Amino acid sequence: MRVRSGRDALKPLLEPMLEPILHPSQWRIRALCISIVIGHPLFYVIWTHFLPQPYESLWQRLAVSALGLSLLVSPRLTAVPPSRFAVTVITLVFWATLPLYFTWMYFCNGRNAVWFATLAAMFLIYYHVTDWRVATIGIAAGLGGGWLLFALFGPTVQPLTLEESLTHAVVFSFCWYMGLMLGLSSSNLRREQIKQALGTMGIMAHELRTPLATMALIGDAVRSTAATAPTEATGLEQLATRLHALVRNMNRQIDMQITNAQLMHLPPQTELVSAASLIRKAVAAFPYRNERERECAQVRVERDFEFNTSEALFTQVIDNLVKNALRALAATPAARSPGDLVLSVDLEGGTGVIRVTDRGVGISERAMSRLFQPFVSSNQGTGHGLGLAFCQRVILAAGGTIKVHSVPGEGAEFVIRLPARNRFPIKHPTLKRSIS
């Protein structure tokens, strides 16, 4: 596999990243939704009965609260990492419940002191909820939309004096400026952290490739010696083969770690690839540790399909799943046999399905609940916890889903479902032997 230069590998990650939902952990999204659901009815009671304000509306408060509730009760909208659909919906809900609604209430209440302070606080809150670019556009659109709604449907209120209007404008400008500066600095800090981490990774990769190149030269020298020493040729040839296999394996691991680092920024999924062809190539090229591992892996194709993805990235997905399966098999006391690891391809109702099934040790229930989160690994000894998080992001970017079913002690099955792009299914005979 050709390795990209360090600059090429890091370039997409160092570009400014658009994050419509900052820190999209499940608990944070739910906490924000709970704040919307509970906060609006609560403030309706406060502003109506305890500290009465000129304008309040129960049905408006309940409608805004229902938006937060819709996010809270939908697993699809609170899944981590969020899908593109979830990002769009959550972004629109936050925009409607913060700059748009707060601006409407600010004008409807005659721009009084309570809503003057509330709208000023909203500027800072909104910049902590979403990306600074989204927040800037959202505030501009919210202010304009809220004012337009008030002009068309709002109550008649007493206008402010020129001095009061200028005071509000100055305070709002200050809050907007500080929110923008904090958003920019936070974005730059996150980018610098990624830059430093990937810079360290690039240095490590460079330092590892130097001894690997030496090992490859040693392997070539051993083979040359074997050619001139017939009595020791067999042993030397085997040693050279093992040495070259080790070099390929370590280079593959370096490539995989560089690719796994691209959790937050994936290239467009625009290549139309055959699932069966991709999996056959990935399984055949995988750097197995020994022949027994190679023999236990089988590819079975019932009906092939094509889908849009990045072939290089999806190959890494298969590599990660195969590596995890082989690690689970190695942890069992039973001897390896063909079929212990099966990768199958089929079409189910127009949806392409890839299954990676092993007879390994399985995954515990505790690990299953957090398996696809970054830096969470079912193998605490050697796992870094990036592989499955990377797999999920690549599959989501291709418009698919990945789920896992496992019984501890009996193995695990990862099921990938993808939108099939070919109009007619491509039929292949089922392979009963291992890929060599």
Q: Give pLDDT tens digits for 107-166.
A: 999 999 999 999 999 999 999 999 999 999 999 999 999 999 999 999 999 999 999 999
pLDDT at site 372: 73
The whole-number average pLDDT for the span 171-194 is: 87
Q: Flag whether pLDDT at 399 surpasses 50.
A: yes
The whole-number average pLDDT for the span 387-405 is: 86
The whole-number average pLDDT for the span 348-365 is: 91
More confident residue, 145 or 26: 145
Confidence grade of residue 233 (pLDDT, cut at 50, 70, 90): low
Q: Which residues does 248 contact at the CB level (< 8 Å), separation at least 6?
A: 287
More confident residue, 288 or 430: 288
pLDDT at site 188: 81
More confident residue, 362 or 189: 362
Q: Which of 348, 340, 341 is nearest to 318 (CA)?
A: 341
Q: Which of 83, 89, 47 is nearest to 67 (CA)?
A: 89
pLDDT at site 386: 56
Q: Output the average pLDDT for the chain.
A: 81
| pLDDT single digits (tens) 92-101 | 999 999 999 9
Phi then psi dihedrals of residue 108, to 5 deg: -65, -30
The whole-number average pLDDT for the span 418-434 is: 57
The whole-number average pLDDT for the span 309-331 is: 89
pLDDT at site 114: 96
Confidence grade of residue 307 (pLDDT, cut at 50, 70, 90): very high
pLDDT at site 262: 55
The whole-number average pLDDT for the span 227-250 is: 70
- Per residue in 106-141, is it b (16+ CB within 10 Å) or e — as a string? bbbbbbbeebbebbbebbebbbebbbbbbbbebbee
Confidence grade of residue 201 (pLDDT, cut at 50, 70, 90): low
The whole-number average pLDDT for the span 269-289 is: 88
pTM: 0.58
More confident residue, 330 or 55: 55
Q: Which residues does 158 contact at the CB level (< 8 Å), separation at least 6?
A: 110
